[in-house]
Amino acid sequence: RLCKMHAPESVNYHLTRRCQYHCRFCFHTGKSPFVLPLADALRGVAELIDCGTQKINFAGGEPFLPEGGHFLGELLRGTKQEAARRGVRVTTSVVSNGGLVTERWLRDYGNCLDILAVSIDSFRAETLAAIGRSAEKGLIGAQRHIEHTQEIRRWCEQYGVKFKVNTVVCSLNWEEDMTAGIVQLRPFRWKIFQCLQLLGENAGKGALRDASELLVTAEQFRSFTTRNCTATVCAGGVTTCPEDNSTMRDSYLLLDEHMRFLNCVNGTKHATASILDVGVATALGEAGWDVAAFIQRGGKYEW
């Protein structure tokens, strides 16, 4: 292994910033249309694997946008092939808003995907519409998001892909009881994030979003998690994973569309040099990654 420091066991690769949804609190916004050529992305993936990465989470933006999902599918396939060449196992994960996920895609690429996480912040169409969690404005698009998420859950079961749910707790949903909807979806993990502000993304100069009206207090976040992380949910096989702002900010290894680590220590994003130019070990040293926080939040689990 090339890294003398703690291996980057789990990495989030935000392969595109583009997204067809309009979430008002987004903290990785569409500032650039750039997407790496597939060969370069796979070269970066190979370097991560050589440095000890065991799980790669492909995210965006919306990762299904480039080439209508073909780019993502081939990236997943190539990741599995790079791991097989080295005789190691690498878990592949995708975080998506779900809007572009089709049964045909899962039929074609489901054997290369271990985990699919879909973001859903409410089971009320009016709340989703107010958040912007849909491609179309209004209640129709929001209701379609709920129904399509349920459809994706069935496809994941059909094609052997673990299903996960991500929820952002904000001023519009912190009082909601989502337990009935979560029990119906039966994700194996439910990540619950406190709405986060990052300068230049959803706050301050140059930001494309303004999340200031969507922030919740620590007490409001705890109220949501207390209401929703119940015995009923857990009895359905769901592992709940609440993460407040302090837990989130430095415990993730984020790669942007150029495969640069994003250091968020000071509440903004500072990009390192690309791992394609300087290697993983050099870039990792500037990433601001809090290994202890990663372990403490349960970042390493049975993948």
pLDDT tens digits, 231-262: 989 888 999 999 999 888 788 999 999 999 99
215, 222 contact by CB (below 8 A) = no
30, 208 contact by CB (below 8 A) = yes
pLDDT at 2: 45
Whether 23 is catalytic: yes
Buried b (16+ CB within 10 A) or exposed e, 33-69: eebbeeeebbbbbbbbbbbbbbbbbbbbbbbbbbeeb
Classified as helix, coil or strand, 299 is coil
Active-site pick, 19, 112, 170, 229 = 19
pLDDT at 299: 87
Q: Which long-range contacts (CB under 8 A, 24 or more apart) does 262-267 make?
A: 262/287, 263/287, 263/288, 264/198, 264/288, 267/197, 267/198, 267/199
Residues 120-159: pLDDT tens digits?
999 999 999 999 999 988 899 999 999 999 999 999 999 9
Whether 170 is catalytic: no
Which stretches does DSSP call E strand in 80-212?
91-96, 115-119, 162-169, 189-194
Whether 264 is catalytic: no
Active-site pick, 26, 156, 229, 241 = 26
pLDDT at 1: 40
pLDDT at 248: 85
CB-side neighbour CA atoms (13 Å) of 15: 29
pLDDT at 87: 98
> Measured between alpha carbons, how far is 65 from 162 in angstroms, rounded to an integer?
21
Active-site pick, 23, 112, 156, 241 = 23
Q: Among residues 27, 87, 22, which one has the least CA distance to residue 212?
A: 27
pTM: 0.95
Q: Would you tell me the crossing angle of helices 38-50 and 70-85 to the nearest 10 degrees?
A: 40
Task: Locate 203 and state its tokens.
Answer: 């706050």
pLDDT at 5: 63
Q: Any idea which residue has 């998506």 for tokens?
A: 96
Under-70 pLDDT residues of the chain:
1-5
65, 33 contact by CB (below 8 A) = no
